[in-house]
Amino acid sequence: MYQGIQMIRHRKGVPGEVPAGGLTGRRAFATGLLTNLLNPKMVTYTIALLPQFVDPSLGRVWLQFAILGVILMAMEFLVDGTVRVLAGRIGAWLRYRRAARRRIEVATGGLFTGLGVRLAVDR
């Protein structure tokens, strides 16, 4: 609730927000790579998903895993790359449109506050 109210009041901005131009491409890539490699959900997802598509009777289990892994990485690259491009363009657009950015902050702050109230009432 506190974060939502702060977003509505616009006192400090969004916690953890990086100022425009404050993150180099190399630093962003390293941060993303490290985050993905240390993400236990990705490892769990891969371990749970890939084996069901491997058929030991076809032989070369390692090759089947490798092919499925490459397909999975290509799909993730395509989806994540699209998200990155769109997020970058929307971010650049919002940097110059203060009114639109303010409406989004107020709407998000209201959502956070509402969810906090609901959580407090449900308990």
In whole angstroms, what is the distance from residue 92 CA to residue 61 CA? 46
**Six-digit token string for 62:** 């390692």
The reported pTM is: 0.53
In whole angstroms, what is the distance from residue 3 CA to residue 15 CA? 8
> Given this model, what pLDDT does residue 26 score?
85
Q: What is the pLDDT along the chain (123 residues), one digit of tens a residue?
A: 788 888 888 755 555 554 555 677 788 788 888 887 888 887 788 888 888 888 889 889 889 888 988 998 899 889 988 998 898 888 888 888 888 888 888 898 999 999 999 988 987
In whole angstroms, what is the distance from residue 89 CA to residue 95 CA? 10
Delimit the domains of the chain by residue range: 2-122
